[in-house]
Amino acid sequence: MNTDRAQRLEAIHRMFNEAFGGEPEVTVEAPGRVNLIGGHTDYNDGFVFPIAIDRSVMICGRRRADRRLLMHQPAMGGSAEASLDRIEKDAAHPWANYILGVARELLDLGCALCGAELTVHGNVPIAAGLSSSAAMEVATATFFEALCGLAIDPVEVARLCQRAENSFVGMNCGILDQFVSKLSTQGHALMLDCRSLEYRHVPFDDPAVHVVIADTGVPRALIDSPYNTRRAECEQGARLLETLLGRPVKALRDVSLEAFRSVEAEMPDPLRSRCRHIITENARVLDAVAALDRGDLKRLGALLNESHVSLRDDYDVSADALNLMTDLLRGLDGALGARMTGAGFGGCAMGLLHGLDEKNVDDGCARVAARYRERAGLQPNLFTTRAAAGAGLVNAEPRRDGTR
Ligand code: GLA
């Protein structure tokens, strides 16, 4: 276990002890994610290609004899309480709703949950487009699985966590974030078909490739409403394409680039550009997976750049800060490509660098940070990540798959 994780583990156990006394029975963690490519394709039944990052939400806790849930998250300044017999939204502690929503979904599935006292500790930046919410949901599900001895198919876990976010928290997200947080394996990117939920782990562990995450410092405020507008535009676009093509179009996934090109002139904007983004982005994901399979990093980087342009111009979900940050990342020596990641409207950009040692990567990030500060007047946060493992128990011992 690396020092950072060992320290976090020690810290969360100390916080648990201060809050509840004694030791927790189980400790789990679930990672945040960065999407390499496949922006906004998930809720169009399309393809995505993310990695889990080496930042996570940890939860430790133990059983209670009654049906109460005592939740403690020192970083959010508080403690919350609920009963498993009557789970309601907690307006005073929004962070607790991720836990409560997942508990309710587990109960709805008929899982025998027990009361628990638990402490939460995360180091995934919040509201930065790195899926701290999904990490919290997946950590909660993984915690109850371990604590109550549940055996749930991991794909089902991802789905129930998405349902918790949609129906309890109230954010109408797709399946991307929860899926990658639960099902990733270390050293691999995850290629997911969001319609069939078939997936493949694609090796992504070349030590010469560095993934840089660049938080613009612009919080993704008010994201829900433009996100929902985009979802509605895609559904409208699919209905229009169905009429124009004269065949069923359940989702934009069902339209090939060729078919789209044949009728796009007849579509009004912005529907035409929204559809163009989704349809070209799906093709780019498949192209990116093939490029990585054959070790063509240059092509992968070029696809990242194209994805950014499409998200910026056609899908209109970028922001000045993200455009500036991706430009700066692209200007670095060894840059393969860069794009905004997550839902957009602020949050993080990501870039791939090739052939540099750690020192050169750090120097490059420092230069980007200085230029960004100068030009945007904002304090960014740049760091690198490796493709991390999905959710699991945290032990001092390596996990069975050898990843920790
Ligand atoms: C957010 C959502 C995901 C996905 C991305 C955009 O992260 O939670 O489901 O739609 O935006 O790719």
Over the chain (404 residues), the average pLDDT of each successive run of 10 is 87 97 98 98 98 98 98 91 97 96 98 97 92 97 98 97 95 96 98 98 98 92 78 98 98 98 98 98 98 98 98 97 98 97 94 97 98 97 98 69 42
Residue 137 Cβ contacting ligand 1 at under 6 Å: no
Nearest CA-CA partner of 235 in 264, 192, 266, 278: 278
Look up the pTM and report it: 0.96
Q: Is omega for the bond preceding 270 within 30 degrees of 0, making it cis?
A: yes
List the residue whose alpha carbon is closest to atom 8 of ligand 1: 173
Residue to substitute in 51, 131, 133, 176 for testing ligand 1 pocket (most ligand atoms within 8 angstroms of CB)? 176
Strand order in the sheet with 348-354: 335-340, 348-354, 209-215, 381-385
Nearest CA-CA partner of 388 in 186, 222, 203: 186
The one catalytic residue in 45, 54, 177, 314 is 177
Question: Which numbered atom of ligand 1 lies nearest the CA of 48?
Answer: 12
Look up tokens 């983004």; give the residue: 277
Dist CA 308 CA 391 (whole Å): 29
Give the pLDDT score at 318: 96
Give the pLDDT score at 396: 52
Residue 176 Cβ contacting ligand 1 at under 6 Å: yes
List the residue whose alpha carbon is closest to atom 10 of ligand 1: 40
Residues 331 and 359 sit within 8 Å (Cβ to Cβ): no
Give the pLDDT score at 221: 61
First to last CA, the chain: 6
Give the pLDDT score at 399: 42
Residues 335 and 352 sit within 8 Å (Cβ to Cβ): yes
Q: Catalytic site residue 177? A: yes
Give the pLDDT score at 400: 44
Residue to substitute in 173, 253, 311 for testing ligand 1 pocket (most ligand atoms within 8 angstroms of CB)? 173
